[in-house]
Amino acid sequence: MRYLPLTAVDRADMLKAIGAKSVDDFYGDVPAAARLKGPVPGLPNHQGELEVDRHMTKLSRKNRAASDGPFFVGCGAYKHHIPASVDHIIQRSEFLTTYTPYQPEIAQGTLQSMFEFQTQVAALTGMEVANASMYDGSTACAEAAVMACRVTKRNTVIMSGGLHPHYADTTRTLCEAAGIRVIQLDPAIDGELELARAVTEVAACVIGQSPNLFGTLTDLSPVADAAHAKGALLVSVFTEAVSLGLVKTPGEMGADIAVGEGQSIGVPLGFGGPYVGLFTCKSKFMRQMPGRLCGETVDADGKRGFVLTLSTREQHIRRDKATSNICTNSGLCMLAFTAHMTLLGDKGLTQLATLNHEAACDLADALAAVKGVKVLTPRYFNEIAFSTPKPADEVLAALEKQDVIGGVRASRLFPGAGMDNVIIAAATECVTAGDIEAYAAALAKVL
- For residue 39, name the pLDDT band (cuts at 50, 70, 90): confident
User: Is residue 36 packed enough to be buried (19+ CB in 10 Å), middle (13-18) or exposed (0-12)?
Assistant: exposed
What pLDDT digit, counting tens, does each position of 82-95 carry? Answer: 999 999 999 988 77
The pLDDT score that the predictor gives to residue 2 is: 63
The pLDDT score that the predictor gives to residue 321 is: 64
Domains of the chain: 67-81+346-446 (3.90.1150.10), 84-341 (3.40.640.10)
Distance linking the first and last C-alpha atoms of the chain:
58
d(CA 236, CA 116): 22
C-alpha gyration radius of the chain:
24
Looking at the predicted structure, is the pLDDT value of residue 246 above 80? yes
The pLDDT score that the predictor gives to residue 105 is: 84
Share of the chain above pLDDT 70, in %: 94
Looking at the predicted structure, is the pLDDT value of residue 329 above 60? no
d(CA 165, CA 159): 10
Contact predicate 237/207, CB 8 Å: yes
Looking at the predicted structure, is the pLDDT value of residue 418 above 60? yes
Looking at the predicted structure, is the pLDDT value of residue 319 above 80? no
The pLDDT score that the predictor gives to residue 325 is: 60
